[in-house]
Amino acid sequence: MKQLTTLFLSLALALCAGWHSAYASDQIIVVANTSDDTLMLTREQVRNLFMGASVGRDLHPIALPPKHRTRSLFNTKVVGLAESRVQSYWAQMKFTGRRSPPMEVGDEEAMLRYLNEHQNSIGYLTASTDLPDSLKVIYTTE
């Protein structure tokens, strides 16, 4: 009986650890290379910035490519739109000449390199990403 209890507890702990790491990898952090240590943005400000609007700060958004898992999570959790709707929005903005989409980088490693090297750049990553000291988390999803 004691072995069965130990086995059950081990299995339960393993499942909880797996759930926690899966949950953490679904969390999105928005990070910036900024000298402003007090900078924090709301979800609405982040959404507006990545949809081409001004938020009163000199920040340059950087995005991951379409169909990238982290981009899909960002669009769902922060922008509040599916990728197809985001693409449709940018197609309309480009056609009318009103706004240009954020610059895209190929993957999260390229995102980290770009953000690290460019002052006032802002991007999104999974919460489990190891960040260099030069980047500051300015928004986190729940």
Hey, is 103 helix, strand or coil? strand
Q: What does the DSSP 8-state code read for residue 38?
A: T
pTM > 0.95: yes or no: no
Task: Return d(Cα 47, Cα 31) in angstroms, integer.
Answer: 13
Q: Which domains does the chain have, with CATH numbers?
A: 27-140 (3.40.190.10)
Q: Which residues contact 73 (CB under 8 A, 6 or more apart)?
A: 26, 28, 126, 141
Of residues 19, 54, 58, 52, the one with CA closest to residue 39: 58
Distance CA 27, CA 139 (A): 11
Residue-level pLDDT at 19: 41
| Greatest distance between any 2 Cα atoms in the chain | 71
pLDDT digits (tens, 9 = 90+) for 101-139: 999 999 999 999 999 999 999 999 999 999 999 999 999
Per-residue pLDDT tens digits for 5-48: 443 444 444 444 444 444 456 899 999 999 998 999 999 999 99
At residue 56 the predicted structure's pLDDT band, cuts being 50, 70 and 90, is confident
Higher pLDDT, 82 or 6: 82
